[in-house]
């Protein structure tokens, strides 16, 4: 396939949709099985968006590994490559993914699978920024984290010794990038689906 960004890769992090292990903050408003179904729906949304413009190769980085039937189904439905996540925490897993990807591509962008506001145009802009000389690109989240990060070189300091899931992740990441001397491109703030109110917002957005 002829991609606009053939030397780039999109990495999508995704957990197996095991009830009780995904989208647990949607409970008890939703059951464990319903929360797992939400996870599946959001993943398909993300994959549809990833292939909307066919910008670059896409890899689905799976946790705990690629064996779950859901991942096999995704690989059947979309022209993607399945990869297993490696590492003890999110930071280690992200660092490993970048280390692996940037050994094969010049640019890599990593996203999760639960951000409805991150558009195909946002992905195109992120890849464009990396190709035009920015050292990194990032999309902050309304909750103080971030929903996308892209790099041209492995940057272990951005991912080590980080307390993930709190409202200072973006601020700390921004400060670390400045300390390292990275020329960082920031996109507009985004929102993702973590709690039940986010899910309600997604349903309104979907039907709007």
Whether residue 90 is predicted with pLDDT greater than 80 in this model: the reply is: yes
Whole-number Cα distances in Å, 40 to 46, 92, 107, 196, 201: 10, 24, 28, 16, 17
What pLDDT is stored for residue 57 in this prediction? Answer: 98
141-198 pLDDT, tens digit per residue, is 999 999 999 999 999 999 999 999 889 999 999 999 999 999 999 999 999 999 999 9
Alpha-carbon separation of residue 67 from 16, 74, 77, 84, 184 (angstroms): 9, 12, 16, 9, 36
Query: How do residues 53-84 score in pLDDT, each as one tens digit?
Result: 999 999 999 999 999 999 999 999 999 999 99
Q: Write down the pLDDT at residue 125.
A: 97
Task: Give me the residues paired with residue 140 across strands.
Answer: 146
Neighbours of 40 (CB within 10 A): 17
User: What average pLDDT score do residues 18-35 get?
Assistant: 97
CA distance 10 to 122: 12
- pLDDT for 84 equals 98
How many other CB atoms are found less than 10 A from the CB of residue 96? 18
Pairing of strands 136-140, 107-111: unpaired
- Model-wide pTM > 0.95: yes
What is the percent of the chain with per-residue pLDDT over 70, rounded to a whole number?
Answer: 100
| pLDDT confidence of residue 208 | 76
Find, among 99, 126, 151, 115, the residue nearest to 42 by Cα.
115
- In 66-192, the DSSP E strands lie at 81-84, 107-111, 136-140, 146-151, 184-186
Residue given tokens 């989240």 in the structure block: 141
Residue 155 vs residue 206, higher pLDDT = 155
Query: 184 Cβ partners below 8 Å, 6+ apart?
Result: 134, 135, 136, 137, 138, 174, 177, 178
């Amino acid at each position: 396939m002829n991609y606009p960004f053939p030397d780039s890769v999109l990495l999508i992090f995704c957990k197996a949709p095991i009830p009780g292990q995904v989208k647990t903050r949607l409970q008890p408003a939703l059951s464990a099985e319903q929360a797992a179904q939400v996870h599946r729906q959001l993943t398909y949304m993300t994959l549809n968006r990833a292939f909307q413009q066919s910008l670059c190769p896409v890899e689905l980085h799976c946790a705990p590994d690629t064996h779950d039937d859901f991942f096999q189904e995704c690989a059947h439905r979309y022209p993607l490559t399945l990869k297993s996540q490696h590492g003890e925490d999110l930071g280690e897993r992200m660092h490993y993914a970048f280390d692996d990807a940037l050994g094969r591509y010049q640019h890599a962008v990593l996203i999760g699978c639960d951000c409805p506001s991150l558009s195909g145009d946002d992905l195109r802009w992120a890849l464009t920024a990396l190709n035009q000389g920015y050292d990194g690109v990032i999309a902050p989240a309304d909750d103080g984290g971030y929903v996308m990060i892209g790099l041209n070189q492995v940057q272990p300091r951005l991912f080590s010794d980080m307390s993930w899931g709190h409202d200072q992740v973006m601020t700390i990441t921004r400060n670390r990038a400045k300390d390292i001397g990275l020329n960082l491109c920031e996109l507009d703030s985004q929102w993702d689906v973590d709690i039940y109110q986010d899910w309600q917002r997604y349903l309104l957005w979907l039907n709007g």
